[in-house]
Chain A
Amino acid sequence: MKHRSSSEQHPAKNPRIPAEVASTSATDGMEDKTPPNPRELTQNPLKKIWMPYKNGLPEKHISQRKVCMTNCPTLIVTVGLPARGKTYISKKLTRYLNWIGVSTKEFNVGQYRREFVKIYKSFEFFRPDNEEGLKIRQQCASAALNDVRYYLTEEGGQVAVFDATNTTRERRETIIQFAEQNGFKVFFVESVCEDPDVIQENIVQVKLGSPDYTNCNTEDAVQDFMKRIKCYENSYETLDEVLDRDLSFIKIMDVGQRYLVNRVLDHIQSRIVYYLMNIHITPRSIYLCRHGESDLNVKGRIGGDSGLTPRGKEFAKKLSQFIQKQKISDLKVWTSQMKRTIQTAEALSVPYEQWKVLNEIDAGVCEEMMYEEIQENYPLEFALRDQDKYRYRYPKGESYEDLVQRLEPVIMELERQENVLVICHQAVMRCLLAYFLDKTAEELPYLKCSLHTVLKLTPVAYGCKVESISLNVEAVDTHRERPENVEVSRMSEEALLTVPAHL
């Protein structure tokens, strides 16, 4: 090894640290002793993560950057009168947290009550002087908290969302004590709203369809529900900036016009606050589609940056007509930075934004290969991918898990926006779709996102309505199902069984 003084470096201009510290470190570093057994590193074959190992086994010394870096689980507690959107928020937040990789589950006390009291008669159950009712409701809350404890301590859950009215300080105090005993952090999410129109709309959207009101006509149901709300009003103690100054909470006022945020303790609470401040309930639709069929698609090759085939261009034209017919107000159009999505957007003749993070999954060394070539050149990789398609990372490439992380800002902005058309790619579209339709990590990489098909997503009640619209332009199938045999030792034919036809 040649040593030239010019290649040594010494930042003479910059101030050195105080002598005592410098000498300690310098002497230590200069001693010619071998470092105390630096641990060997091995790269996990599935995720391509470097980790230390001993005696051939990986050691658990390191941690992957996960969202929930706190060791203690978090208990999110909703607060608010009926019909204030607590369950809507609970379900949405749970869906978001699970999507970004934080194991979350919601516990709806109303659900427990319905299981206990098989038939709902009327609002009288909720009257504050109905002792029997109160006892049952308390039992249900306890049962739910018990399940929360089990989920967070035995089932590896990281966040539990305790969805109930929790409108009195007394009730909240009970929960706080429960959390303290079990070492959970508590974060309250209160929804306050006095706008009668919003409340009415809530009731119509989600209460009328509730099991409580299946045999009720609309007017009676609404009347009963209003009386139900009244039962809570007198004892309602809203979160107070003085009385509750030591608690961690966010108070959402008037469906997001205003927020009061108190004592955010950690990263996950900060992310939750950011998410809650970006969601809205204004009606709108999100359109997801892939680029038109590309030259590489037709050849059965993955990745790359090719242009559209004639059929792909035909799709782009049909897409333009479709969009125009939909008569969408203020439509935003987003594409990736790859030629095929941009070419597709160009046909729409409207302004569009390019997002690099919408680029297709990076297949690393497998870019532009056919599945047959991957099987031939990297049979081990091909098998590992079939074993865990969500976590599998291509060598020098990405995994679906990586994709989700880079798509998070897209989801956040989609939440902020109203009508949007996202022209993207197969793996990307699967990730976005999984978020909206609450699909698990196992299902996500196998969601069907065919070429030349637009998915129109419209939020409704607690979920999302999906309309699949094929624009009637032929295209190759690029969907490869999971083959039966995912063993590393399998034969080529077994591996290639589910590869779709191509040129």
Chain B
Amino acid sequence: MATYLEFIQQNEERDGVRFSWNVWPSSRLEATRMVVPLACLLTPLRERPDLPPVQYEPVLCSRPTCKAILNPLCQVDYRAKLWACNFCFQRNQFPPAYTGISEVNQPAELMPQFSTIEYVIQRGPQSPLIFLYVVDTCLEEDDLQALKESLQMSLSLLPPDALVGLITFGRMVQVHELSCEGISKSFVFRGTKDLTAKQIQDMLGLTTPAMPMQQARPQEHPFVSSRFLQPIQKIDMNLTDLLGELQRDPWPVTQGKRPLRSTGVALSIAVGLLEGTFPNTGARIMLFTGGPPTQGPGMVVGDELKVPIRSWHDIEKDNARFMKKATKHYEMLANRAATNGHCIDIYACALDQTGLLEMKCCANLTGGHMVMGDSFNTSLFKQTFQRIFSKDFNGNFRMAFGATLEVKTSRELKIAGAIGPCVSLNVKGPCVSENELGVGGTSQWKICGLDPTSTLGIYFEVVNQHNAPIPQGGRGAIQFVTQYQHSSTQRRIRVTTVARNWADAQSHLRHIEAAFDQEAAAVLMARLGVFRAESEEGPDVLRWLDRQLIRLCQKFGQYNKEDPTSFRLSDSFSLYPQFMFHLRRSPFLQVFNNSPDESSYYRHHFARQDLTQSLIMIQPILYSYSFHGPPEPVLLDSSSILADRILLMDTFFQIVIYLGETIAQWRKAGYQDMPEYENFKHLLQAPLDDAQEILQARFPMPRYINTEHGGSQARFLLSKVNPSQTHNNLYTWGQETGAPILTDDVSLQVFMDHLKKLAVSSAC
């Protein structure tokens, strides 16, 4: 097994790919019986410091329907200078530049270690990065101040040739013209009126009138379009001043009202502006908002404070009167932005909901960030925002734009769909399945905003019929081609070609079983579940998940019929039920206690983080610190909550440090300040340091919670742990084995018992 673990890890390191199954069942029928679909998590831009890009262009298969890229799996005839495409078996001539190749003089793309390779395209104009700030001015004074400072700070982080633009909004929407001297100029739009892209461009004067002098125009065009988007180096001072002078929205807000906030129109204008000026160029629209849209298209709630913003309860009762319309508005915007390769970030900082539920698609479909905080005046926002502009080891921003992901498969496979921050490009082809999982029906997706951790789940279908066995030793291959605009403004293509063995599930089930990647499978299944939850009722999704789990157990468990106690799972499956247990309880599928916005926020991140982070989200990590030994991971269980321990829990969204009862008392007594108890001080410090380490790396910044036994914030911990001890199983009450959780939720033990029972039951 160890070999498989290594294999998986190695593959992940090299290619950024993790498959649910690393040996593939060779027929369609068998594949469906495996319950967990053949799928993979792909991190297209996984950082590879060891992988210098090659400065030439890839060699393509000449078959028009294939166009696969030359890769190490291809058969090469060095003498004839021919290569055979491993997807369509087309034989291709090498291009003239490859005349010198031989067995010993291979181009990089033929070397096995370059199963992932990156090409730099030299052709075409290099387009600068574009950042369009869309700023809400209906903020409290200090919030606005903090935001202004963050924005000003960000200017210094941008590459000097990046284009920036500024749109502010409140009751009205202002598009600031940055090029002018003297008087600062802005175009103002009514916040209540939806405008078509054409209208917006007309009103901003972006459309060049059809004048007879058009021949002279082409050069002027960029000038016109850049009135609102200027190179930062040129207008740095200007923009800094402008930001400094930003005032709160001046329109009076009477008591009992929410400020009128035209987020919908502002975004629409931002999208329209970029659409008209820089179509198909990577750009980031960064929306900073401090509250829900309250007017115009995309409004989420009225301005009457007495009418609260929709809750899950309202949505279930169909009482959210603006939701559908608003969602439609933002979806339309997101799709337009996506079509043009622009991504939309949402930075929403407010104590109440801000309408992320409705706006989520903007970030979800375009690969933008979604950040939720309580205030712009928190380190959570400030550092998160700063981290967006972090740089990699080469000094480039960790962001990429306007990517197109194309997947090619060998004939036995078809593509069922993808789940992640992408939109379909609707490219049909021979390798596209009719059965959709996630965003399907295409072999290409657009990912407008990418970072090194952006991960897509890609689902496949085995189409090989049972009666057409694959020859022993045959391998299925998949090629991922990601074309994108690198933050250095280069266009690049990253190609990853992977292959896995086929196995006959009937004869070699063991092989397949052993090659099961339960972590990847859990995440992939979770993504499917979350994807479904967006459109289906919560309980249905849970039932579906349960059924899948039971079927999986039935398929791969070892048991005697009707004897739950005999049930066993092999090591490669052993953790899977537990993941499912925690997934069922996670905020991705449970909306109880979460606002619609929070759910959207959690799901957004779940659908784009890589495997490790996703797993943390599903099953938080719990570390224990005590005088009894070095820090150790402990079970995410109420039994781990002990009086003499400090616990550190990482749920991805929150970092919770929890002091056990005794520890808390000690600290209260001030022992840590006494020289003789320095070790106690160290004990207290240890989790803080570890937490800091996590905080440094995580995007977005998690909520950092420092609490102790009995503290109100302890709920974050208590709600996550497996409630093995509750007020219902009194037999453990008062024992030193942990803290009871006041809940009616089932514990993992009960869950497992139940699962076993169902798995062994022949009734299912």
- Please determine whether chains A and B interact with each other in the same assembly: no
